[in-house]
A and B are shown apart, each in its own frame.
Chain A
Amino acid sequence: MREYAFALDACIVVQVSFSIPYIGTCFCDLCARALAQQDNKSIPAQATMAYYNKPLTYNSQVAGYLLRTYPSPWTTIDAVSRAVLGTATDDEILVPNTNTPDLRASVKLVQRAVDARAIAARNR
């Protein structure tokens, strides 16, 4: 067994009998939870995200935006067609115990829209 101690008073014990990827996943998850719960230098989850505008890039270009204009839901928008690709509530998009959105789902939506447009253009 190996012990990891942090300045944040989080102590994580990992059994070496697990496979390496599994250890990595557990370790990262525990780190994330410890940081989210004990971090005093972040905006707390109880705060309200009034306005959020994040350009999402794909192939080094701005391909879409994640936009939140309170009280509307979080909205993923295609940069070219300006179409709404998806919406999400606070519970669905915010990283637990934080006021920060998880961008992965929005990025995937944007990537899919760009790819679909490229395939359509090639078939034309």
Chain B
Amino acid sequence: MCTHHHRRDNQAVQAVKAAVAKPKMRNFRLVECEFPALAALNKLGDGSMQSANQVEDANLQTAVLICRALSTPLGLGPQACLVISGSATARLTQRARRAYSSVHSLREDGGISADEKNKVFVLVAPSGRDYQLAQQLASDGATVVLVNGFAKVSILCVNMLSH
């Protein structure tokens, strides 16, 4: 399972790097990345705290890998900022701060200031509310990577209705 996850993470990192270098729309670097965080798919929706924590940890692990891949090596230049959703748990924020140096929690640190808009942001497990922020940042010239946005209620609704 480790090899499978390792391979998947590598694929995701390479794909994100390619998308950031040459996005679908020029000057709009909003990149999405979506995959089952856990190999055991039934854990994704079983409602238990243990499974939810495992999903959080798996998402965080991939997001940190993407952050490192998009940062200047050895910390000599700009670092990608790992952004934690305002609706994320305090546990996820704590774990993110332990795993990566540049972490911004939308709940604890507030919004992202205008002078930071040329940076690279990696949003882990964003909620519907964060999509507007991501879109705004990307419109203003920032690079934004969304990792596993699960709260796609409206999108799901569109899919169901169009079937």
Q: Given contacts A36-B158, A48-B25, is CB(A55)–CB(B32) below 8 Å?
A: no
- For this complex, 8 residue pairs linking A to B, each with C-beta atoms less than 8 Å apart, are A43-B155, A46-B24, A47-B138, A50-B31, A51-B11, A51-B12, A51-B16, A69-B15
Q: Given contacts A46-B28, A51-B12, is CB(A40)–CB(B132) below 8 Å?
A: yes
Decide yes or no whether B23 CB sits under 8 A from chain A. yes
The segment from B72-80, B82-90, B146-154 found at the interface with A is B146-154
- Within the complex, which residue of A28, A32, A47, A98 is in contact with B31, where a contact is CB–CB below 8 Å? A47
Q: Are A50 and B33 in contact (CB under 8 A)?
A: yes
Q: Are A50 and B32 in contact (CB under 8 A)?
A: yes
What B residues does A52 contact at CB under 8 A? 32-35
What distance in Å separates the Cβ of B61 from its nearest Cβ neighbour in chain A?
A: 15
Decide yes or no whether B19 CB sits under 8 A from chain A. yes
The segment from A15-23, A99-107, A111-119 found at the interface with B is A99-107
Decide yes or no whether B131 CB sits under 8 A from chain A. yes
Decide yes or no whether B3 CB sits under 8 A from chain A. no
State the main secondary structure of chain B at its contact with A.
helix
Report the bound CA distance from A96 to B145 in whole Å.
22
Q: Are A51 and B15 in contact (CB under 8 A)?
A: yes
B interface, CB within 8 angstroms of A: 8, 11-12, 14-16, 18-20, 22-25, 28-36, 41, 128-129, 131-132, 134-135, 138, 145-146, 149, 151-155, 157-159, 161-163
Q: Are A70 and B159 in contact (CB under 8 A)?
A: no
What distance in Å separates the Cβ of A8 from its nearest Cβ neighbour in chain B?
A: 9
Q: Given contacts A41-B129, A43-B146, A44-B30, is CB(A102)–CB(B154) below 8 Å?
A: no
Report the bound CA distance from A52 to B19 in whole Å.
12
Complex interface residues of chain A between 7 and 62 (CB less than 8 A to chain B): 28-29, 31-32, 35-36, 39-44, 46-55, 62
Closest to B156 in A: A100
Report the bound CA distance from A34 to B41 in whole Å.
32
Report the bound CA distance from A104 to B159 in whole Å.
10
Q: Are B131 and A40 in contact (CB under 8 A)?
A: yes
Report the bound CA distance from A34 to B158 in whole Å.
9
Q: Are A55 and B24 in contact (CB under 8 A)?
A: no
